[in-house]
Amino acid sequence: MEEIETQEQKTPPPPPPPPEAPRGHGRLARLFVGALVLGLAGATLYLLAERNSRFYYLSQEGRRLVIHRGAWLPSGKRPYLPDDPHTARIYAPIELPDDAPSIGERRFSERQDLDRALFDILADLAEERIRSEDEPRRQEGFALVERASLLPGITGTQAERLRSLRAELSFYEGRAHLERAVVELRQAREKLEHAAESSSVRGESAATLLRTIAPATEALSRALQRSRGWDVPELRPLLQEEEKAEKREKKGRGASEADAAPASLRTPRAAASDPGAGGTAESADAVPAGGSGGDAE
């Protein structure tokens, strides 16, 4: 018994229970943690929205190429409508040709990246159209080059390609003007031929113009053929008619000039073959000779 009492005396008493925390402090801690979570979530959404608003989107809608800007949301987009009129013209929707291939949506973090990608698309579409023989198709190529020339963020290599496209555009556009000029010259030549055949006071003037227009029309037609490297189907009937008309005109002009030329303007061989002309020349030479001899005596 004494040993049991001794052990009980040696065992320390249990510690007292901790004091209970006030109920108000726990509620404040929970509110603080909730506010912190909400703040972090709001900051995350804000950063995602701010990052998305910097993106540019290029996508095809029907037959139009449309540029969007990221919305002020974690995701989504809205039409890109700049306040500046010049910038709005650059990034306005682009009408695509009917036979253009479909273009998938693309996203860009910088506007210059958008400019470079958009330039490549427009240049590829324009390059195969500005060489076309179809006038509407060629006009589509001209319009695409003009839109590509507005983009400010292209590289040096793309700027060189743009200069090359503009040079080709000018060449093919100038050649198209010349082709229309050949048709106009042909029509003018027909009108002048009618005027030259008449006996009006304008007949001589029309003949003078024809002598100038006919060689110029032929030279222009041949220059157009050489520039193409092959015969122009649209101009082939016109060129054939011009060659036939020119041959007839040369034959008729040569015969009329030979008949109308006076004996004094003919070549010595032609004059010698003409008996009347030869007699006139001999008599003309005899008169001065006789006169000289009389004076000498």
Q: Where are the domains of the chain?
A: 52-154, 176-259
Q: Alpha-carbon distance 41 to 49, whole Å? A: 12
Q: Are 100 and 89 in contact (CB under 8 A)?
A: no
Tokens for 217, please give them: 């029309």
Confidence (pLDDT) at 65:
92
CA nearest 193: which of 241, 261, 148? 241
How do residues 175-220 score in pLDDT, each as one tens digit? Answer: 888 888 988 888 888 888 888 887 677 788 888 888 888 888 888 8
pTM for the structure as a whole:
0.57
If residue 107 lies in a helix (H) or strand (E), which one and from where to where? strand 106-108
Please write the tens of the pLDDT for every residue from 5-25: 555 555 666 666 665 555 556
Q: For 40-97, how does the pLDDT look when each residue is reduced to its tens digit (9 = 90+)?
A: 888 888 787 778 888 999 999 888 999 999 887 777 788 898 889 999 999 999 998 8
